[in-house]
Structure 1
Amino acid sequence: MNSQRFNVYPKKSFSSKDEVLTFLGKESSRLVGIPAMEFKEQLLKREEQGSIEIAPGILLPHFESPSFTQSKVLLLSLNPEVKGWNSEINNVKLVIVILLKAEEERPVKQEIAAFTRKLADDKYLDELMKLGNEYNN
């Protein structure tokens, strides 16, 4: 993974969905320029459109915006898992957020697309859930 494109947050501890969203909102604001409240609103809006859970306990919210300064992928492993994300999702262990800058360059889109294709592999997802301190922000 291109460490410039991917920000990994291993074994973070949060007690609620709101705490996770607050943290991700602050990081998104710092990294790509989206206001933290807008991030949270967009994620909640995305959840209303359909489930963001791609496997048990693994969430993949994603957004595209012309206001992003760059594209980023945030990988947040949760320890302990967050119970009761919403009425349909429980025991969240990993949140993968894709923030795609509109009109992004083709090589960047290809890099992110290659990563998302790997998410179909259960073994790869297991490895992501085991993210340790070998990755730094």
Structure 2
Amino acid sequence: MRNSQLFNIYTRKNFSSKEEVLSFLESEGHKLTGIDSSEFKTKLFQREEQGSIEIAPGVLLPHFESSSFIKSKVLILSLKQAIQHWSKEICNVKLVIVILLKTEEKKSIKQAIMEFTRKLADDKYLNKLMNLENKNRNEGDDFL
């Protein structure tokens, strides 16, 4: 996977728990943005405490900003099987989209992320993201 791209898509991953998903995202986040694994988990848990990260049934959008990132990234993770129990309030998770925003990011990157997040209001678009197959999509930039 090319690390220069803003979007990184991981399709039809087979995880059975929230912990497995978080471990994968933590590892990828570290490789792609340089975030420390303890900072990743801390920020993610803090974000969940602030309010629900579920933007549609089965779709999570955790996001946070950090000055420690070497670059911004959007990680899109579709799951082969739903995570039945994410938290007390969230169940049947099929899609996790993590936005890792570098503090004082370029305007063009922020604009690309904003355009992408606007598309997430469309149920058909979310469904397409949930059902992406492993295909060579140049990290999905043409689709996104």
Q: State TM-score, norm by structure 1.
A: 0.95
Amino acid aligned to 1:5: L
Q: Which amino acid aligns with 1:70?
A: K
Return structure 1 stretches of 4+ with deviation > 6 angstroms: none
- 1:114-129 to 2 correspondences below 5 Å: 114-129=115-130
Cα deviation, 1:69-107, whole Å, max 9, x if unaligned, reads 001000000111111000000010000000010100111
Task: Decide whether the 8 Å contact of 1:17 with 1:85 is kept in 2.
Answer: yes
Q: Residue 108 of structure 2 aligns with which residue?
A: 107
**Which runs of 5 or more residues in structure 2 are unaligned?**
140-144
Deviation at 1:10, TM superposition (A): 0.3
| 1:28 match | 29
Tell me the equivalent position of 2:63: 62
State the alpha-carbon separation in 1 of the partners of residues 13 and 47 from structure 2. 23
Residue 142 of structure 2 aligns with which residue?
A: none
What is the Cα deviation at residue 132 of structure 1?
1.0
- Between 1:34-43 and 1:80-89, the stretch displaced more is 34-43
One-letter identity of the residue aligned with 1:81: A
- Asked if the contact 1:8/1:136 (under 8 Å) is kept, the reply is no
SS in 1 for 2:85: coil
1:1-137, aligned counterparts within 5 Å?
4-134=5-135, 135=137
Would you say how many aligned residue pairs link Structure 1 and Structure 2? 135
Structure 1: runs of 5+ lacking an equivalent? none
1:44 Cα deviation from its structure 2 partner = 1.0
Q: What is the aligned-residue identity percentage? A: 64
Q: Which amino acid aligns with 2:17?
A: S
Name the SS of the counterpart of 2:39 in structure 1. Answer: helix
User: What is the RMSD of the two structures over their aligned residues, measured on CA atoms?
Assistant: 1.2
- Separation (CA, whole Å) in 2 of partners of 1:57 and 1:76: 12
Q: CA deviation at 1:41?
A: 1.5
- How far is the alpha carbon of 1:131 from its aligned partner? 1.2
